[in-house]
Chains A and B, each alone.
Chain A
């Protein structure tokens, strides 16, 4: 006890620069955990801290934290940091303000008038980058750009880059494993055929895709296209034979090709898309490793085919749409069906057999619709191993 007390008082009374003498690696460890603005403020307390900051392998610059009157200063700083950063930069993240504050119309206008920050060409001299994340800027590749040899993760969001440039960027980064492309501007084609991307996320509106790639393990796709273009646009993703996780967002209507070759599929999430009944039949009968399925059934499905399912989410608010009989439908809509009719309906909607492995079940129930409630009830009965249940 005495020992602690005496060391305390000696620290407080001395001006021994205690925290100023922390090892540089430790100062880096601390600085790396601070948001952009605080990093700069903190790092200038002494020379040692400045040096520690300027040798950090990770540089995160986020404009959303900056007073709007200082934007030009910030932009100047970004350029300067990219040109002067004298150590090995492994991880660079840049977020410009545009994406946070502007309305959609204004954003498009801003893009057209090119009042957007163009990333300094010095970025391309940091050729050992491992992670690159850009948000809200223009990316222009220099003529002689040879690629980032070490780049493993690329995240481009609201970035203006023409299709051909994106293509050459992707092809020149031979180690690329994670690719995220969100709402790119001036980019109409995405082709990842000749890359080694394992994890892919694409959001936005593009004209042409080719996603056929045997390296791909997980894909999350949320695209805008006309309803009749869905099958064509999504075709190439079903050629990725090693895909384990597939998520297709948005509201589409599509049918699936034969999935005989996609034996590894474990997770399938089809958000709010309507999938043809035959397609779903294919999916559950051909993908025998399926463990997680989130689907909006246009009809209740022959789930007896996938007893290995461990995790499932179904939206049964639309369940009534299966009923072709107008009369029944009307009665149902008015909650006039009695239990007997419901029992008869059971054969109609082919309720699932028992899921012995299903642990997590999420049901989106329409609580004024008897059939919807009734189906939910049947699910409860057939999931003996259930440990987590979510009802929306």
Chain B
């Protein structure tokens, strides 16, 4: 993935280098990196000459995120984008670890469009599921006490009945 690029070229196309937590390097156009509010702020204050470390994001995740940012910096027609987003999400949700890391990374890098897209997809996975099913599928510990659960059932009972 690491692409060697001369300094002149970097100047010309306004490229920036991002380094993942596992030291993978990605060279992308500035406008692509700008999709992340966090990276944009870093570029604004520190410039784009030296590589920017993205310490909390692993290479495979950063690669996927940059793919998204690149597609979304082209200004293509809405229908094209919607189709692309759907395929992107279909692929991501197959691997829950990847999906989880992608969600965290997009939140951490502050790419609100992508956070929203992932949240909609995640919400879709949660629909029509009981709390227990959700806990199992997504590996969430139930830390409620028995009393709390009983209290919830009396308050939210209606939410558990079929229409």
Contacts and interface: CB of A to CB of B under 8 A. Distances in A.
B161 to A, nearest CB: 4
Given A3-B60, A20-B139, A30-B119, A45 B157 contact: no
Interface in B46-83: 58-60
Interface string B18-61: 00001000000000000000000000000000000000001110
Interface residues on B, range: 35 or more
Interface in B130-163: 130-131, 134-135, 138-144, 148-149, 152, 155-163
Interface in A1-60: 3-4, 7-8, 11-12, 15-20, 22-23, 25-26, 29-35, 37-38, 40-42, 44-50
A38 B124 CA distance: 10
Interface stretch (B4-12, B84-92, B99-107): B99-107
Nearest to A37: B159
A80 B158 CA distance: 14
Contact of B131 (A12, A22, A26, A42): A42
Interface string A367-383: 00000000000000000
A40 B158 CA distance: 10
Interface residues of A, number: 44
Nearest to A28: B119
Contacts of A66: 158-159, 161, 163
Interface of A: 3-4, 7-8, 11-12, 15-20, 22-23, 25-26, 29-35, 37-38, 40-42, 44-50, 65-67, 69-70, 73-74, 77, 80
23 contacts: A4-B95, A11-B100, A18-B97, A20-B138, A20-B141, A22-B103, A29-B107, A30-B122, A33-B123, A34-B127, A41-B159, A42-B134, A44-B131, A44-B144, A45-B142, A46-B141, A46-B142, A65-B163, A66-B158, A66-B159, A66-B163, A70-B161, A77-B158
